[in-house]
Chain A
Amino acid sequence: MVQSIVPPYLLARIASADSERFPAASAAARRTLRLDAPRRSARLTLSIDGDTLVAELSDAPDREIADAGGRERLPGRVVRREGGPATGDLAADEAYEGLGATFDLYSEVYGRNSIDGAGLPLRATVHYGELYDNAFWDGERMVFGDGDGEVFQRFTRSLSVIGHELTHGVTQFSSGLAYQGQSGALNESISDVFGALVEQHAATQTSAEASWLIGEGLFTPEVQGRALRSMRHPGTAYDDDVLGRDPQPDHLDGYVETTDDNGGVHLNSGIPNRAFVLVADALGGHAWERAGLIWYDTLTGSLAPDVDFAGFAAATARAAAARYGGASAEVDAVRAGWEGVGVTIDGGRA
Chain B
Amino acid sequence: MADEPDPDRDSPAVDIRVTRSGGVAGMRRGWAVASPDARRWEPLVDACPWDDDGPGLLVRDDGPDRMLWRIEVLAPGPARSAELPESAVEGPWRALVETVRDEGSRVRPEPPHGSAGTADG
Contact = CB atoms under 8 A, between A and B. Distances in A.
Interface in B41-90: 57, 60, 63-68, 70, 83
Contact of A136 (B27, B28, B66): B66
Contacts of B106: 242
Contact of B21 (A228, A261, A342): A261
B7 interface: no
Contacts, number: 138
A259 B64 contact: no
A261 B24 contact: no
Contact of A309 (B22, B26, B111, B121): B121
A243 interface: yes
A150 B3 CA distance: 13
A260 B65 contact: no
A261 B22 CA distance: 5
A260 B112 contact: yes
A344 to B, nearest CB: 6
Contacts of A258: 112-115
Contact-size category for A: 35 or more
A78 B109 CA distance: 38
Contact of B119 (A136, A152, A229, A257): A257
Contacts of A309: 119, 121
Contact-size category for B: 35 or more
**SS of A interface (majority):** mixed
A253 to B, nearest CB: 6
**SS of B interface (majority):** loop
A179 interface: yes
B119 A255 contact: yes
A93 interface: no
B24 A152 contact: no
A310 interface: yes
Interface string B100-118: 0000001011011111111
Contacts of B22: 260-262, 265-266
B28 A260 contact: yes
B6 interface: no
A100 interface: no
A241 B2 contact: yes
B36 interface: no
Interface in B1-38: 1-3, 21-29
A136 B68 contact: no
A241 B64 contact: no
Interface of B: 1-3, 21-29, 57, 60, 63-68, 70, 83, 106, 108-109, 111-121
Given A168-B64, A215-B25, 5 more contacts: A134-B25, A188-B64, A222-B1, A260-B113, A261-B68
6 contacts: A179-B63, A228-B27, A240-B1, A241-B2, A255-B118, A258-B115
Nearest 5 A/B pairs, CB to CB: A266-B26, A258-B114, A136-B65, A255-B119, A258-B112
